[in-house]
Amino acid sequence: MKLLVTGGAGFIGSNFVRRTIEGKLPGIEDAEVVVLDALTYSGNLANLAPVADSARYSFVHGDIRDAEVVGKAMEGVDAVVHFAAESHVDRSVRDASIFVETNVLGTQRLLDAAVRAGVKKFVHVSTDEVYGTISQGSWKEDHLLEPNSPYSASKAGSDLIARSYFRTHGLNVSITRCSNNYGPYHFPEKVIPLFATNLIDGKHVPLYGTGENIRDWLHVDDHCRGIALVLAGGKAGEIYNIGGGTELSNRELTQLLLDATGRDWSFVDKAEDRKGHDLRYSVDIGKISAELGYSPEVPFETGLAEVVQWYRDNRSWWEPLKERAAL
């Protein structure tokens, strides 16, 4: 099988590529992987260094909005796993234009190319944020889409475009919606790597509002295994939630990170709450569990401890990124 992985130099995409080349994802142990990535601020070839010498890996530098580049990258491809997206909510609040262009237009360009190339399977990777916010219970895949940020609205748009290509063109599209990911190689503007690296260095961290916003945390290894299960056995036109089963308020998460780095609450600064900040996310994973046998395997306590240690051991990876982005 020849896979095209868009956004494969980013956090989740690079994990998927590394695990595929290492033969650790079910159903695609021997796959050849072509990565298409624009290498914007969060894309990093260092994320792929562990597999860069593999004969089953190749890299194409290009933007998913570029129809010519996308068309060439799609040649001979059996399946597409589409990670490429602008994803940081705060950036979308400041300027939504690139989110709409990349997440909606870029996805449409990929889908067009996949139809022309006769691709057998297209997995569109999305987010639980398209559902909006939920005070109790958990979202099932047929819940109304009520995105509250420009980022999540652009992802909801891309989900609908993907679904339309199944209905209109018969393209075998499956959509996945994940909860908050964490793990190594995570760009340090996101909360866990930002807090971990700041606290390791004895710097302060910002906590939005009261810190009562709740997220479900999913280790990136579990997420990528779920995507591989959908790639191998997901039904055309269907949506699959992928969650981690660990719900924490931002305040609870901050306490765990303080404990892991030996700091106290004097290192936490109260920050003005984000505009349109969703209170709680929670996905129901019953469908992917029943149909494809998915369940999260990485205990959060173990995963978080390993991630904090990874940032302690890999300063040479994250320090230049923080300096470049002035984080």
Half-sphere exposure of 217 (CA within 13 A, CB side): 22
Instruction: Report whether 85 contacts 176 (CB < 8 A).
Output: no
Backbone angles phi, psi at 326, to 5 degrees: 55, 45
Q: Are 314 and 184 in contact (CB under 8 A)?
A: yes
Rounded CA gap, 264 and 281, in Å? 27
Which residues are part of the catalytic machinery? 128-129, 151
Do residues 166 and 237 make contact, with C-beta atoms less than 8 angstroms apart? yes
- List beta partners, residue 61: 37
Q: Is 1 exposed, middle or buried (0-12, 13-18, 19+ CB in 10 A)?
A: middle
Beta 246-249 vs 214-219: how paired, if at all? Answer: antiparallel
3-state secondary structure of 260: helix
Do 230 and 295 meet the contact criterion of CB atoms below 8 Å apart? no
CB hemisphere CA count around 86 (13 angstroms): 27
Give the torsion sign (CA, 302, 306, 309, 311). Answer: negative
Yes or no: say if 175 and 237 are a contact pair by the CB < 8 Å rule.
Answer: no
Alpha carbon distances (Å) from 113 to 68, 70, 100, 107, 119 = 9, 7, 19, 10, 9
- Residue 316's contacts (CB-CB under 8 Å, 6 or more residues apart) are none
